[in-house]
């Protein structure tokens, strides 16, 4: 059945047992909504220099948006901001592929569990759900970086 | 087969709606339960559109050639049909717009630019309700922000009705306009027109009724409603998209200023100033949606041939059955009145903690089309502490078997996410 290509077990697992959910200390916070369906997320990032040390979030929404936030937390925490941005871009590429992209090994290596979202990209109405937390994270990270005190000789 | 009293002959009716035979997702017959968003169109309406374009197309008014005369007669003929359909005292009280949203915005802008005694400005108040469609909230927020008027509203009771217990405090001597929905698109509630109109009249406020979810489903008689303006939209009542209606009392339409300027709405124009055509043309700037108006005229003919009373009776029976069956589904909570009394055929619900988006997706896979989200009435979701709902909405071609399909579909949803 076609539905199974969207609701992969990995996605349903993340949905039922989200990783890293809840709001914790962070350097920047954003609130994003998906106006068409009312999915919402409040997301905080905590950076240590160039490293993403935490992504915490409170969210409300469908299985796809919930699972996607959980996968984001899994994949990105512990990475450098640069690496994490690459993951984000790869995920974006997959989600914008309209189901026409068959993830190759290189992509699977970058995206791990997130390749399970390939099936979602066939459903235009749901792509935004999958991207909600990722866009919020990108926004929060930009905010954290721009608000970070400019490193000076002694400080950095 | 379930036997209900008062049903229309849906077997015959469904033959008029070619789209209802559509097969989706590998051969499943579509079960279309998204009628509150837009209705399907009968062949009679599609034929009228086609015939207009194939035989009569021209711009309306002032043309002296045969096509222009035919197009004008058809366009103005549609106005006559709509006027009769809503029992308007005069055809000149029927303004064609692009949809209900434009009709509602038009009134807000008329009042913002009007002279006394209609003018909405600082020290005056606008009254709406918490169950309005965004189209009947945002125009008033804009007007309030631009004029300094105060926006007030009626709240809701726990069972999805309007709370008008404080009506004398909400509608006051300062109120200039009361604008409310006759039938809610999210809760299904049918609101108490008489009490609200009486109070508004007592304080000299105008009344605008959003009849978008009423015109398709019940007898709409603007004279017995007693309001000053009534707005609705063509595409929910078997008509095409791109056509809406604003009915307004003649003396008001004469007094109130135009909003959009352009061709069609003028009498004379010089470089310094213009004078305006009488209503309704004063409010119809530019080339109107001609074919769409003709299509709406055909839709009104279609509805009248079935009889609005019969349509209402049909939908009442279906709604009663649907409410009963839905309440049998474990963990299902209806958001709105839990009975078919004083309620329309749109039924919103939540299903345990399964998100409506997921409910809708799994139903779609079975060929069942419902709407999920906040249905352009987000304040209602906030009021009931839910992010969104799933909404099934029925129409004159809906059958008990389609209600059964929905119930089976929901069982499948529960298993899928269980
Ligand atoms: C109660 C109500 N008011 C207004 C509207 C707006 O109609 P339209 O989008 O055609 O302007 C709708 C339809 O969505 C509605 O249900």
- Cα–Cα distance measured from residue B146 to residue B111, given in angstroms and rounded to the nearest whole number: 12
Taking residues B219-225, what's their average pLDDT?
A: 98
The pLDDT of residue B1 is: 59
| pLDDT for the residue B277 | 94
- Mean pLDDT along residues B38-52: 98
A69-111 pLDDT, tens digit each:
999 999 999 999 999 999 999 999 999 998 888 888 989 999 9
Closest CB to A3: pick one of B365, B372, B381: B365
Say how far apart CA B289 and CA B98 lie, in whole Å: 7
The residue whose CB lies within 8 Å of the most ligand 1 atoms, and thus the one to mutate among B37, B100, B105, B129, is B100
Tell me whether residues B416 and A60 touch, CB distance under 8 A. Answer: no
For the cut 90, the answer to whether the pLDDT of residue A148 exceeds it is no
B357 with A129: Cβ contact below 8 A: yes
Which residue of B34, B348, B361, B384 to mutate against A (max A Cβ within 10 Å)?
A: B361
Mean pLDDT over residues B412-418, rounded?
Answer: 91
- Residues of B with a catalytic annotation lie at 376
Lay out the sheet containing A51-60: strands in order across.
A28-34, A39-48, A51-60
Give the model's pLDDT for residue A150: 56
**Is ligand 1 within 6 A of the CB of residue B200?**
no
pLDDT at A35: 79
Which pLDDT value is given to residue A151?
55
B362 vs A3: CB contact, 8 Å cut-off?
yes
Contacts of A60 in chain B (CB under 8 A): 387
Amino acid A20: pLDDT: 95
- Spatial CB neighbours of B415, under 8 Å, sequence gap ≥ 6: none
> For residue range B270-282, what is the model confidence (pLDDT) as tens digits?
999 999 999 999 9
Task: Check CB contact under 8 Å for B355 and A62.
Answer: yes
Mean pLDDT in residue range B46-62: 96
Residue B3: which pLDDT band, with cuts at 50, 70 and 90?
A: confident
- Cis peptide before B280, with omega less than 30 degrees from 0? yes
Residue written as tokens 């001609």? B290
Q: What is the pLDDT of residue A38?
A: 76
The alpha carbon of B233 and the centre of ligand 1 are apart by a number of angstroms equal to 7
Taking only Cα atoms into account, the Rg of chain B, rounded to an integer number of angstroms, comes to 22
Q: According to the model, what pLDDT value does residue A56 have?
A: 97
Across A113-117, B353-357, B406-410, the highest mean pLDDT is recorded for B406-410
**B11-20, B73-82, B105-114, B267-276 — which is least confidently predicted?**
B267-276
Chain A hits for B378, CB-CB cut-off 8 Å, are: 38
Q: What percent of chain B has pLDDT over 90?
A: 97
CB-based contact (8 Å) between B311 and chain A? Answer: no
In tens, the pLDDT along A8-52 reads 999 999 999 999 999 999 999 999 998 777 789 999 999 999 999
Any chain A CB within 8 A of the CB of B365? yes
Whether B361 sits inside 8 A of A61 (CB atoms) is no
Q: Is the ipTM of this complex over 0.90?
A: no
Say how far residue A9 (Cα) sits from the centre of its chain. 18
DSSP letter (8 states) at residue B146? H
pLDDT confidence of residue A101: 85
Which ligand 1 atom sits nearest the alpha carbon of residue B241?
A: 10
Using a CB-CB distance cutoff of 8 angstroms, which residues of chain A are in contact with residue B417? Answer: 12, 63
Q: Which of B186, B188, B210, B212 to mutate to test the pocket of ligand 1 (most atoms within 8 A of CB)?
A: B212
Q: Is B382 within 8 Å of chain A by CB?
A: no
pLDDT digits (tens, 9 = 90+) for B303-336: 999 999 999 999 999 999 999 999 999 999 999 9
Query: What pLDDT band is residue A155 in, cutting at 50, 70 and 90?
Result: very low
DSSP string, A82-144: HHHHHHHHHHHHHHTTTT-----HHHHHHHGGGGGGGGGGG-HHHHHHHHHHHHHHHHHHHHH
Q: Do B372 and A64 touch (CB under 8 A)?
A: no
| Interface test mutation site (partner B, options A4, A41, A62, max chain B beta carbons within 10 A) | A62
Per-residue pLDDT, averaged over B34-43, amounts to: 98
| Token pair for B270 | 């010089």
Q: Sorting pLDDT into bands at 50, 70 and 90, what band is B168?
A: very high
Chain B environment of A12 (Cβ under 8 Å):
417
SS3 B149: coil
Interface test mutation site (partner A, options B355, B382, B383, B409, max chain A beta carbons within 10 A) = B355
The answer, yes or no, to whether residue B38 has pLDDT greater than 70, is yes
Task: Please check whether residue A93 is in contact with residue A29, taking contact to mean a CB–CB distance below 8 angstroms.
Answer: no
Rounded mean pLDDT, B81-106:
98
Is the separation of the CB atoms in A87 and A152 below 8 Å? no
**pLDDT over 70 (residue B203):** yes
- Does A146 contact chain B (CB < 8 Å)? no
| pLDDT tops 80 at residue A2 | no
Residue B181 Cβ inside 6 Å of ligand 1? The answer reads yes
Percent of chain B with pLDDT over 70: 100
- Chain-chain contact of B357 with A61 (C-beta, under 8 angstroms): yes
pLDDT at B63 over 90: no
E strand spans, B234-367: 244-248, 266-269, 274-276, 332-335, 346-351
């Amino acid at each position: 059945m076609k539905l199974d290509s969207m609701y992969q077990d990995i996605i349903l697992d993340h949905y039922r047992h989200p990783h890293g959910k809840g709001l914790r200390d962070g350097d920047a916070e954003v609130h994003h909504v998906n106006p068409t369906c009312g999915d919402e997320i409040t997301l905080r990032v905590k950076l240590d220099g160039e490293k993403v040390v935490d992504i915490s979030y409170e969210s409300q929404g469908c299985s796809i948006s919930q699972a996607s936030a959980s996968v984001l937390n899994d994949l990105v925490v512990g990475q450098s901001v640069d690496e994490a941005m690459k993951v984000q871009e790869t995920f974006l590429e997959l989600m914008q592929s309209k189901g026409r992209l068959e993830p190759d090994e290189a992509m699977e290596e970058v995206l791990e569990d997130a390749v399970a979202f390939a099936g979602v990209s066939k459903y235009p109405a749901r792509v935004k759900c999958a991207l909600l937390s990722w866009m919020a994270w990108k926004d929060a990270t930009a905010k954290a970086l721009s608000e970070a005190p400019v490193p000076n000789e002694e400080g950095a | 087969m379930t036997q209900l009293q008062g049903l229309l002959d849906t077997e015959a009716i469904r033959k008029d709606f070619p789209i209802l035979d559509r097969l989706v997702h590998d051969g499943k017959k579509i079960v279309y339960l998204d009628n509150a968003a837009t209705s399907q169109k009968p062949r009679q309406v599609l034929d009228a559109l086609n015939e207009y374009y194939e035989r009569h197309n021209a711009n309306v008014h002032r043309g002296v050639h045969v096509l222009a005369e035919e197009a004008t007669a058809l366009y103005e003929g549609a106005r006559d049909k709509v006027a009769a359909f809503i029992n308007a005292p005069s055809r000149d009280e029927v303004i064609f717009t692009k949809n209900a949203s434009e009709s509602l915005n038009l009134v807000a802008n008329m009042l913002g630019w009007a002279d006394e005694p209609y003018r909405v400005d600082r020290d005056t108040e606008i009254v709406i309700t918490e169950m309005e469609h965004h189209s009947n909230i945002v125009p008033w927020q804009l007007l309030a922000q631009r004029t300094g008027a105060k926006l007030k509203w009626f709240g809701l009771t726990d069972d999805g009705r309007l709370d008008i217990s404080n009506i004398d405090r909400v509608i006051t001597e300062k109120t200039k306009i009361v604008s409310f929905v006759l039938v809610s698109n999210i809760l299904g509630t049918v609101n108490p027109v008489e009490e609200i109109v009486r109070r508004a009249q007592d304080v000299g406020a105008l009344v605008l009724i959003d009849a978008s979810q009423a015109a398709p489903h019940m007898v709409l008689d603007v004279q017995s409603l007693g309001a000053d303006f009534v707005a609705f939209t063509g595409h929910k009542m078997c008509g095409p998209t791109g056509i809406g209606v604003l009915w307004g009392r003649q003396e008001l339409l004469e007094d109130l200023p135009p909003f959009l300027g352009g061709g069609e709405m003028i009498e004379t124009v010089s470089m310094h100033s213009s004078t305006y055509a009488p209503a309704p043309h004063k409010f119809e700037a530019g080339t109107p949606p001609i074919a769409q108006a003709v299509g709406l005229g055909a839709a009104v003919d279609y509805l009248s041939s079935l009889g609005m009373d019969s349509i209402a009776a049909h939908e009442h029976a279906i709604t009663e059955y649907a409410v009963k069956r839905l309440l049998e589904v474990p963990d299902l909570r209806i958001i709105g009145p839990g009975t078919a009394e004083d309620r329309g055929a749109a039924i919103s619900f939540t299903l345990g903690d399964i998100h409506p988006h997921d409910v809708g997706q799994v139903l779609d896979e079975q060929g069942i089309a419902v709407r999920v989200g906040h249905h352009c009435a987000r304040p209602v979701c906030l009021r009931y502490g839910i992010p969104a709902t799933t909404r099934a909405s029925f129409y004159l071609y809906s059958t008990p078997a389609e209600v059964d399909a929905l119930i089976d579909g929901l069982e499948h949803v529960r298993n899928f996410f269980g």
